[in-house]
Amino acid sequence: MSSIIAYSEKEQDIYKVKKGVYQNDWDNSIKSYKFFENELCFHDSILLRRNNIVIPQQLCKSVLDAAYEGHPGIVAMKGRWRSKVWWPRIDKDVEQLVKACKCCTLVGLPSPTAPMKRRELPAAPWIDVTMDLMEPLPSNEYLLVVVDYYSRYKEVNNYKNITSLQIIKMVKEMFSRLGYPISITADNGKQFVSEEFRPFCKECNIKLFSIVLYWPQMIGEVERQNRDILKRLRINQIERKDLKEMFMGVSSNV
C-alpha cells in the first residue's frame, strides 16, 4: 500500500484527476478518467473508482504479473481484479498479456473452425438422406437412424450386432418402400466404409458421402434427430416403458 501511495503522489495523471475531482478542472489528457468522474474519489493520496484502487501506471505491470501467476486466462484474470483494482484500459492490458504468452498460446483451445455453408434443401423427398449409428443402448442394442434431408422424416432400427450386411438388408427394405435416394451421407463408421456397403451404393447408383473425421456437424440433421432420440430414451428409462411405445409416431423397426 505504501508503494501505491508513493507512486500516486508522483504520477501526473492522478494529480490532474485530483484537480478535476476537487476543482472541476479536467485536462484533455485524462479523458479516460473524466468518463468516470462521478465514480472517482480520493482517500488520502489514493485515487479510488468506487471501491477499487486506481493503480498508478508505473505499477500496472507488477499488478498484472501478480494476477497472471498460474496462467489463469483472460476471464479469470478479469474476474480476479475487477472488484479490487482499476486503471484505464485494464481489460485491454489483460488481453494483450494473455495473448502474448507463448505457454497459453501452445495449450489454449484451437481457433473455432469456419462455419460450414448451409446445405441446400433437396428438390423433393428422399433424394438426399443421412444415416448414423447410435451407441449401444442399455439393452446392448445399436440404433440406426436414417433421416430424409427434405422432409426430416426419420426411420429408426435396432440391432444387437450391427454389420454392413445388416445395414444393406435394412436399407433395401426401406428403399423398396420409399424409393432409392441419389445420395447417402454417413460418418466414417466401419459399416459405412466397408467392402460390402460401398459396392452396394455403387450398384444402386447412390453417391456415398463420408463426413470429415471428427466433424459430426456435417451430418447435423441426423445429429439433431439423435438428440431427440436420446431424450426419449432417457424418459423411457425413467418411466420404464417399452421401446416401441417410445417411438410411437416415428417409423421404426424397434
63 in helix, strand or coil?
helix
User: What is the reported pLDDT for 79?
Assistant: 75
Q: Which three cell numbers stand for residue 78?
A: 478479469
User: What is the reported pLDDT for 100?
Assistant: 79
Residue 196: CA atoms inside 13 Å, Cβ hemisphere, count? 10
251-252, strands of its sheet edge to edge = 207-210, 183-186, 128-134, 142-148, 154-159, 251-252
Q: Tell me how long the chain is.
A: 254
CATH code matching the domain that covers 2-107, chosen among 1.10.287.70, 1.10.340.70, 3.40.50.300, 1.10.645.10: 1.10.340.70
pTM, two decimals, is 0.44
CA–CA separation, 208 and 193 (whole Å): 9
CA–CA separation, 252 and 154 (whole Å): 8
The architecture that CATH gives domain 128-252 is 2-Layer Sandwich (3.30)
User: What is the reported pLDDT for 251?
Assistant: 47
The residue assigned the cell 476537487 is 22
201-207: list long-range contacts, CB under 8 Å, 24+ apart: 204/175, 204/180, 205/180, 206/180, 206/181, 206/182, 207/182, 207/183
User: What is the reported pLDDT for 65?
Assistant: 82
User: What is the reported pLDDT for 248?
Assistant: 41
User: What is the reported pLDDT for 250?
Assistant: 46
Tens digits of pLDDT across the chain (254 residues): 788 899 888 999 999 999 999 999 999 999 999 989 999 999 888 999 988 999 999 998 888 888 777 666 777 777 777 778 998 888 888 888 877 776 666 655 555 555 555 667 788 998 999 888 776 566 677 778 888 888 888 888 877 778 899 899 989 999 999 999 999 988 777 888 888 999 999 999 999 987 654 444 444 555 555 566 555 555 555 555 555 554 444 444 44
Which residues of the chain are in CATH 3.30.420.10 domains? 128-252
User: What is the reported pLDDT for 18?
Assistant: 92
Which residues of the chain are in CATH 1.10.340.70 domains? 2-107
Closest among 54, 58, 60, 39 to 85, alpha carbons compared: 54
User: What is the reported pLDDT for 2?
Assistant: 82
Bridge partners, residue 148, by sequence: 129
